[in-house]
Structure 1
């Protein structure tokens, strides 16, 4: 082997080692948002984070309407502006740090409020404050947490039967300065795909609106992917 080929092989090997070290999982802040990536698959494409101060109207438009949510579910009441405390953890009567505004909606299953679903979209002043609220939302029950089949935003988690609940699935996602929470209480049968589909559709709708386009994505559009 010539000296030139030996030198080229050494350089290529060093480059491979460097790339491997750079791509390994760590808790270092993401260069895109300044916060950890929350378990996103290393092979997933980097999502486009929500970086603008999204107006109230677009936050509300991003919420799923009748015919856009999961089969059998319908809007309960109206989509509405959220109070600051609704973007905090349960039992807290104040807005989380950095909260700017939010929107929320509720859904009933087959015309009954026995089973209910809830969606919150919360805008923060910085990605760091959104990350802190996301971490508080998902809680510490590691044994009940699982990653979605496909990453939703920069950080996402599904929690099955949090606390003492039964047949409940909660989904949490952060994209830039926005957190989204989906809670489905009842009607899951232990299947988290519905919560993931609602979470994904809501984020994609918000991204469409932020880009100046109409919100066209629906939860059924995302259900097949969530069930993989």
Structure 2
């Protein structure tokens, strides 16, 4: 065999090795883009739209759920009311929370009965900090009975199951910007907080609609359908 042919053998072997290496790196292992293209993607929840405007009394009253907009079987007991400041804080404290501006509320009968009722309170504060402090005081400190709202409602939200040693009751609390919402469902819950959570979510959506210059139209049924997706 000639020296020229012997000299070519290492070069040919080297070319073959390079080709094999290229095939292995490009064909056997998918790149990062293709590996994630067909997989499940994490979908971030929609960014909260905090209530930052000084909504009027008429706005807050409109945001309160009316007949046919709340939980099935519940209708407004009497009329929607203007909330006094002392009702925007803990039940055992009659003082007006710092920074309170105005509020609105309503109570709801269940199938025409006042034995098992629900209610919602909306309280507007001058600053988000004042609203945050009121939210913490309002929901209390029964940590063992608390669970987060899923999906969350507003900037912070909590559901309290059977507060104060009660039975079959669920309370819900949410803060969005300068507004705090409280929902109470007394009886007919079976310990299921989904109804209270839906009332919180629908009420906040109505406030957001009003802040955007639209009429309040969101309902509990729509909120439940959206949460189930």
Q: Could you state the TM-score of these two structures normalised by the residue count of structure 1? A: 0.79
Partner residue in 2 for 1:169:
170
1:11-160 equivalent positions in 2, closer than 5 A = 43-160=44-161
Q: Which blocks of at least 5 consecutive residues in structure 1 are unaligned?
A: 1-41
Q: Which has the larger radius of gyration?
A: 2
Partner residue in 2 for 1:223:
224
Deviation at 1:214, TM superposition (A): 0.9
Deviation at 1:210, TM superposition (A): 1.1
Q: In 1, distance between residues paired with 2:138 and 2:87? A: 11
Deviation at 1:93, TM superposition (A): 1.5
- Number of matched residues? 187
Q: Which has the higher helix share?
A: 2
Give the CA RMSD over aligned residues.
Answer: 1.4
Q: For residue 198 of structure 1, give the secondary structure of its aligned residue in structure 2.
A: helix
Q: For residue 149 of structure 1, give the secondary structure of its aligned residue in structure 2.
A: coil
Structure 1 residues 77-135: Cα deviation after superposition (integer angstroms, max 9, x where no partner): 10010000010111221210110000010001011001010100000000000000001
After TM superposition, what 4+ stretches of structure 1 lie above 4 angstroms from structure 2?
225-228
Q: In 1, distance between residues paired with 2:225 and 2:161? A: 20
Deviation at 1:223, TM superposition (A): 1.9
The 1:134–1:197 alpha-carbon spacing in structure 2 relative to 1, beyond 3 Å, is same
Deviation at 1:226, TM superposition (A): 4.6
Q: In 2, distance between residues paired with 1:63 and 1:92? A: 24
Q: In 1, distance between residues paired with 2:216 and 2:119? A: 19
Q: In 1, distance between residues paired with 2:81 and 2:225? A: 29
Partner residue in 2 for 1:184:
185
Partner residue in 2 for 1:203:
204
